[in-house]
Amino acid sequence: MVPVAEKGSKKSNDDVGESQIRLYSGMAFTKQDKIWMQRALNLARKGSGYVSPNPMVGCVIVSVDGDIIGEGFHERFGKEHAEVNAVNSVDDKSKLTKATVYVTLEPCSHHGKTPPCTEILGELKPARVVVAMKDPNPKVNGKGIAYLKEKGIRVETGLLKEKAVELNRFFLHHLEYGRPFLTLKIAQTADGYIAAPNGDSKWITSHKSRELVHRWRASYDAVMVGRNTVETDNPTLTVRHIEGRQPVRIVIDGPYGLSKDLNLFSDQYEEKTIIITHNREQAESDADPMLKLMKTNYFRGKILVVDRHEGHTNLKTAMHTLGDEGITSVLVEGGQALSTALLKQRLVDQLELFIAPKLLGGGTRSLLGLNINRMEDILPFHSFEWNRVGDDMLLTAKI
Ligand SMILES: [Zn+2]
């Protein structure tokens, strides 16, 4: 039986976290402070999918009378930061000196693609700057807050910190581990199959579930599949049911023996396709002719060659290579071999498991063998949540 509406430990952790922040900082944020910061967080989220590998940031400026006089968010990678957009939106700049600036991430203090926001704020001298969380990027990491304080501005940090951390979990994960945040999506029948015995996998889950997956595609930097899925399903991995930006598409263990006519290698997003593979033989001279052909000839995407692990592309190295490419998040969409290998190597950060109210009784199982023989070795979820999507149940779990 499928347990319903059961919650993991996530919610209670959040509650504890917030009260601790208040306790340690000794600052009491008002209800109104929270409302403004929540607004800044909502604004920040509008940059989802467009600012990576930068973090999403939102900013709200409130006058001494309690009115919003400016707001903005980081809209596109390489474009103005949230604070700059918010300041630029203020009509009467004289009101800035007594204003409070709410910003979801510590203002930057380094010269990047744009001048540092701390210098801009330092000159405008608002009365108070409220920051949801410190920027752990070594280039900032408290220096932005220190600079503002030196300029005589009152700075308070930690308001809605847990929400700010959750908002930028991809950015923070990439910064900390040097590899993308990896979510494994599985869409299976109630008895655990992802395809019928004839290989057909369309469609196990409801339209609502597939729509949700398309929304995820638009917010992750990349979607990833294994070579078997490319061969069997010939997917496009595009964003279709909703409006959103097209993520990078990654094929693991291609292109050996795969046709150049497959959608991922030939459609309008060919340039957004990355093949991560290894040389079949150690010696370069023995490298697969298909790989050589793709490298030199018709393929307009990117080919990254990493080392081998048990005869396949080394997934750990592959993840770090993607991290180096600036990819902060990956949504894995099958199939069985890749999903199993990622779980075995403990590379999955989050599982999104759709369970459809259908039976197949045979076919391709979602997973095949995790090298677990005893209940003592079972793979537990740190926290999880059950939700209903259309006719399906969705288990979201942190691993
Ligand atoms: Zn900035």
Q: Rounded to the nearest whole angstrom, what is the distance from the C-alpha of residue 257 to the centroid of ligand 1?
A: 47
The answer to the question of residue 38 being in a domain is yes
Q: Which pLDDT tens digit goes with each residue over 52-79?
A: 999 999 999 999 999 999 999 999 999 9
Neighbours of ion ligand 1 (CB under 5 A): 81, 108, 117
Do 100 and 26 share a domain, yes or no?
yes
1 pLDDT above the threshold of 50: no
Going from the Cα of 51 to the center of ligand 1, the distance in angstroms, rounded, reads 13
**Strand ranges inside the chain, DSSP E:** 58-62, 68-73, 100-103, 128-131, 154-157, 181-189, 193-195, 222-226, 248-252, 273-277, 302-305, 308-309, 312-313, 329-332, 350-356, 364-365, 383-389, 392-398
Are residues 151 and 227 both part of a single domain? no
Query: CATH number, domain at 253?
Result: 3.40.430.10
Amino acid at 251: V
Among 134, 149, 169, identify where a domain stops.
Answer: 169
* Domain shared by 98 and 184, yes or no: no
Give the residue from 127, 152, 169 where a domain finishes: 169
What distance in angstroms lies between residue 167's CA and the mean position of ligand 1's atoms? 17
Unique residue bearing structure tokens 């595009």 = 238
- Quote the CA–CA distance of 153 and 146 in Å, as a whole number: 10
Write down the mean pLDDT value for the chain. Answer: 89
Q: What number is the average pLDDT over the span 201-210?
A: 95
Same domain, residue pair 303 and 212: yes
Nearest to 348 by CA among 220, 179, 190: 179
Are residues 251 and 135 part of one domain?
Answer: no
Side by side, which strands form the sheet with 222-226? 302-305, 273-277, 248-252, 222-226, 329-332, 181-189, 350-356, 392-398, 383-389
Quick check: is 359 in a domain?
yes
**3 alpha carbon to ligand 1 midpoint, in Å?**
45
If you ran DSSP here, which 8-state letter would residue 7 be given?
B
Strands (DSSP E) along 146-215, which ranges?
Answer: 154-157, 181-189, 193-195
Catalytic residue selected from 80, 83, 162, 352: 83
Asked if 129 and 191 sit in the same domain, the reply is no
| Residue pLDDT, tens place only, 360-381 | 999 999 999 999 999 999 988 9
56 plus 191 within the same structural domain: no
- What's the pLDDT at 9? 41
Task: Confirm whether 5 is domain-assigned.
Answer: no
Same domain assignment for residues 98 and 192: no
Do 290 and 391 share a domain, yes or no? yes
186 pairs with which residues across the strands?
Answer: 353
50 and 149 belong to one structural domain: yes
Distance CA 108, CA 58 (A): 13
Q: How far is the CA of 82 from the centre of ligand 1 (A)?
A: 7
pLDDT band for position 286 (cuts 50, 70, 90):
low
- The answer to whether residue 3 is domain-embedded is no
Ligand 1 center to 116 CA (angstroms): 5
Q: What is the CB neighbour count within 10 angstroms for residue 332?
A: 26
Number of domains in the chain: 2
Residues 330 and 352 occupy one common structural domain: yes
Examine residue 321 and state whether it is found in any structural domain, yes or no: yes
Residue 333 is among the residues annotated as catalytic for this protein: no
Same domain as 224, residue 103: no
Residue at which a domain ends, from 169, 203, 236: 169
Residue with tokens 């930097």: 221
Question: Which residue, among 190, 156, 149, has the nearest Cα to 360 in the 3D structure?
Answer: 190
For the domain that residue 106 is a member of, what is the CATH number? Answer: 3.40.140.10
In a domain? residue 157:
yes
Give 154's strand partners.
128
The domain of 62 spans 10-169
The pTM (predicted TM-score) of the whole model is: 0.88
Q: In whole angstroms, what separates CA 281 from the centre of its chain?
A: 34
For 83-116, the pLDDT digits (tens) are 999 999 999 999 999 999 999 999 999 887 677 9
Higher-confidence residue of 300 and 27: namely 300
Task: Output the pLDDT for position 198.
Answer: 93
